[in-house]
Amino acid sequence: MTIQELSNKVRELIAYKLEMPLSKVTEEAALVADLGADLLDTLIVIMTVEDEFEIEILDTDAARLHTVGDYVNFVAGKIGVHIDA
């Protein structure tokens, strides 16, 4: 999987879970500030990402995930996708 494929997959998951057009879910978009996610939405996104990529996101890690790009980079690190791939 390339970083672009990973980004697309994470963006699609977030768009689906937040019920919004994919075009609004950019890597720069913050889940709460830009996409209107609340605490429950954020937890659902975290659980969905964990399930999809078979990873664990600890509370300490989740506290640092604000933007879609943060999620992409975190998952990339967990599953071994290189940013420059």
Tokens of 34: 């830009």
Catalytic residue among 38, 61, 70, 84: 38
The answer to whether 38 is a known catalytic residue is yes
Which residue in the block uniquely carries the two structure tokens 């998952």?
A: 75
CA distances, 16 to each of 19, 20, 40 (Å)? 5, 7, 15
Which segments of 24-67 does DSSP mark as H helices, in order? 39-53, 59-62
Q: What residues are labeled active site?
A: 38
